[in-house]
Amino acid sequence: MAFKKIGVVGCGLMGRGIVEVSAKTGYDVVVSEINKELLDKGMAAINQSVARAVEKGKMTEDDKNKALGKIKGTTDMKDFKDCDLVVEAAIENLDLKKKIFLDLDRICRPDAILSTNTSCLSVMDVAAVTKRPDKVLGCHFFNPVPIMKLLELVKTITTAKVTLDAAVEWGKSLGKTVIVAPDRPGFIVNRSFMPYMIEAFEMYEQGVASREDIDTGVQLGLNHPMGPLTLADMVGLDTLLFVTDAIYAETKNPKFIAPVLLRKMVTAGYLGRKTGKGFYDYK
């Protein structure tokens, strides 16, 4: 199964990244938002991103125009009716995702593949509301999508081999390295990532070391591009708390219990770079 037209539900941070990489590689793309204001904001961000790519010499002006010409924005989900693959990139809310998949199942062609960009929620729970669970899988991209090379595909117990194979080929066509994870809490990356982050939070919380020394130790000692507390601020502390809580709710494994400090920082609104304050102050 070869894809020609891709649909993306949501033009936020993740959605617009998926739109950009798909359009750059020659796919026709339809992206939706719940209102024109959010759609215009997302489309403007895509324009800025590809303009920066031209400035950095990563693509030509002609390539930029071709990519942007491949993208259609909409506030009407009926425009997904002729898409080969639709990627849902809404917020991490299971009830919302189920509603979106109910709509997509009704609107899209019977042979269209539906996927969710969730980082931790059960893909099977979403697939179960459709009449095509064999054509549903997870497509977990990483932020920022145009830069991060990994695509984690999530196969449920009902995902057909032909569905997975088609998604693998699409991911490779985007220039991504594709890995396949089972539909288990946290999949591969977050299941290994969160205990590492929790340990760093607890070291800081317990006064084992300063935030700077924790970050420097990991960055230089383990050859990571940045330390865990800096990374947490970039990802968003609310996002990390959500992922941790979601994995713990499914597994009841104590290594996924969120540290008290993380929960209090989120309550206080210290979410990292996006609010100007997290483990570090960005104001």
The DSSP string of 36-58 is HHHHHHHHHHHHHHHHHHHHTTS
Taking residue 210's Cβ as centre, other Cβ atoms within 10 Å add up to: 12
Q: Is residue 169 among the annotated active site residues?
A: no
Q: Is residue 49 among the annotated active site residues?
A: no
Residue 141 · residue 164 · CB < 8 Å: no
Ordered by where they begin, the domains of the chain are 5-182 (3.40.50.720), 190-275 (1.10.1040.10)
Taking residue 76's Cβ as centre, other Cβ atoms within 10 Å add up to: 10
Query: Averaged in consecutive runs of 10 residues, what is the pLDDT profile of the chain (283 residues)?
Result: 93 96 97 96 96 92 95 97 97 95 98 95 97 98 93 98 97 97 95 96 97 98 96 94 94 95 98 96 92
Taking residue 262's Cβ as centre, other Cβ atoms within 10 Å add up to: 23
Q: Which of 145, 143, 138, 100 has the alpha carbon at shortest distance from 117?
A: 138
Q: Is residue 140 among the annotated active site residues?
A: yes
Q: Is residue 88 among the annotated active site residues?
A: no
For 273, which DSSP code? G
Q: Which of 110, 108, 112, 103 has the alpha carbon at shortest distance from 80?
A: 108
Distances from the Cα of 264 to the Cα of 122, 137, 245, 254, 278, angstroms:
27, 34, 14, 19, 11
- Type of residue at 237: L
Catalytic option among 20, 49, 117, 140: 140
Catalytic option among 173, 190, 202, 205: 190
Catalytic option among 22, 32, 115, 119: 119
Catalytic option among 20, 33, 88, 152: 152
| pLDDT in the model for residue 221 | 97
